[in-house]
Amino acid sequence: MNPTRRGPADAALLLLVSAVVALFALPLVGLALRAPWGELAARLQSETVREALWLSAWCATAATACSLVLGLPVAVWLAAGAGPVRSAVRVLVTLPMVLPPVVGGIALLVAFGRNGIVGAWLLQWFGIALPFTSAGVVLAATWVAMPFFVLTAEAGLRSFDRRFADAASTLGAGRWRTFRTVTLPLVLPSLRAGLVVAWARALGEFGATITFAGNLAGHTRTMPLAVYVALESEPEAAIVLSLLLVALSAALLFALRDRWWPAR
């Protein structure tokens, strides 16, 4: 094909791409157009926004930390071999990625709710109730975010060159030292990317959170919930919060650009 001549197929492709670009760009443009730019600073400093932002930030961070602590061993185990058991566990761990989050919320309620199969026991023996608490928000966010970390970390660990671990063992390094001093540093880029994606997913979590943890201002009303609430009463506040979430997400993508769009 002559690259300098554009056929009708090229024109059609270009048209289609433009339409899709519009589909993604128009909502953002709309947000920017409707935003109350004049009172943006004041709105961002309002009690509601600061509360929701702070809650979202620390809950997402806590969920990411939980994903790291709980997910890394799972990723290591998944990457260490193959077989039906591992496949089954991988499906189970991946499920929250494809389930509607509201279903996840209901499932969490059934398991960890006050009358749930584990929740009732937690309440009776330890006096711990997760629903309608910030801990519940963290649990819901971890549940939806951890799969992203586990899958990314597993892929990174699988691509790790075992020969470096072999070299370390001939130098006298046991399994734990090899993991700590050779494997971890070499898969760090994957882990970092997994953590960022998990954090972004946790930050945006809505369905599971509102179902399991409810919508209590200051305790479980995270940014997405605050957007939802604001939409009913003061749409302009919803737009400000939405813009904030867009900015945060864009910043995350920017931070990850080297991984997903490596310079050629």
Partner 1 sequence: MTLNAKLVLRRGALDLDVEFEVGAGETLALVGPNGAGKSTCLHAIAGLVPLSAGQVRLAGDVFDEPSRGVRVPAEARGAGVVFQEHRLFPHLTALDNTAYGLRCRGAARSAARASARAWLERFGLGAVAEALPRALSGGQAQRVALARALAAGPRLLLLDEPLAAVDATARLELRRELRAHMASFAGPRILVAHDALDAFAFADRIAVLEHGRIVQSGTVAEICSRPRSRYVADLVGTNLLRGVVEGGVLRLPGGGALVVAGSASGDVVATVHPRAIALFRQRPDGSPRNVWSAPITFVEAAGDRMRVQLGGAVPLVAEVTPAAVAELGLARGGDVWVAIKATEIALDPI
| Helix %, strand %, coil % of the chain (to 5) | 80, 0, 20
Do residues 165 and 185 touch, judged by C-beta distance below 8 A?
no
Residue 217: C-alpha distances to residues 34, 62, 74, 96, 214 (Å): 26, 19, 34, 26, 10
Distance between CA 210 and CA 224 in Å, rounded? 10
Task: Give the dihedral sign, CA 33/35/39/42.
Answer: negative
Phi, psi of 83 (to 5 degrees): 145, 170
Please, what is the minimum distance in Å from the beta carbon of residue 75 to partner 1?
20
Name which position in 2, 4, 124, 170 contacts partner 1 (CB under 8 A): 170
Contact between 80 and partner 1 per CB under 8 A: no
Contact between 166 and partner 1 per CB under 8 A: yes
Distance between CA 130 and CA 54 in Å, rounded? 20
Name which position in 48, 61, 133, 169 contacts partner 1 (CB under 8 A): 169
**204 CA to centre of own chain:** 7
Size of the site for partner 1 (CB under 8 A): 16
Please, what is the minimum distance in Å from the beta carbon of residue 177 to partner 1?
6
Continuous segment of H or E residues that includes residue 21? helix 8-34
Contact between 157 and partner 1 per CB under 8 A: no
Contact between 172 and partner 1 per CB under 8 A: yes
Please, what is the minimum distance in Å from the beta carbon of residue 180 to partner 1?
11
Contact between 262 and partner 1 per CB under 8 A: no
Of 85-114, which residues contact partner 1 (CB under 8 A)?
none
Q: Considering beta carbons, is residue 127 or 172 the nearer one to partner 1?
A: 172
Please, what is the minimum distance in Å from the beta carbon of residue 188 to partner 1?
8
- Name the residue among 49, 58, 66 with its Cα closest to residue 229: 49
Do residues 83 and 118 touch, judged by C-beta distance below 8 A?
no
Please, what is the minimum distance in Å from the beta carbon of residue 80 to partner 1?
16
Name which position in 55, 62, 168, 226 contacts partner 1 (CB under 8 A): 168
Q: Considering beta carbons, is residue 5 or 163 the nearer one to partner 1?
A: 163
Give buried/exposed letters for 158-186 (b at 16+ CB in 10 A, else e): eebeeeebeebeeeebeeeebbeebbeeb
Site string for partner 1, 173-212 (x = CB under 8 A): xx--x---xx--xx--------------------------
**Residue span binding partner 1 (CB under 8 A) among the ranges 45-53, 64-72, 132-140, 171-179:** 171-179
Binding footprint of partner 1 on the chain (CB under 8 A): 163-164, 166-174, 177, 181-182, 185-186
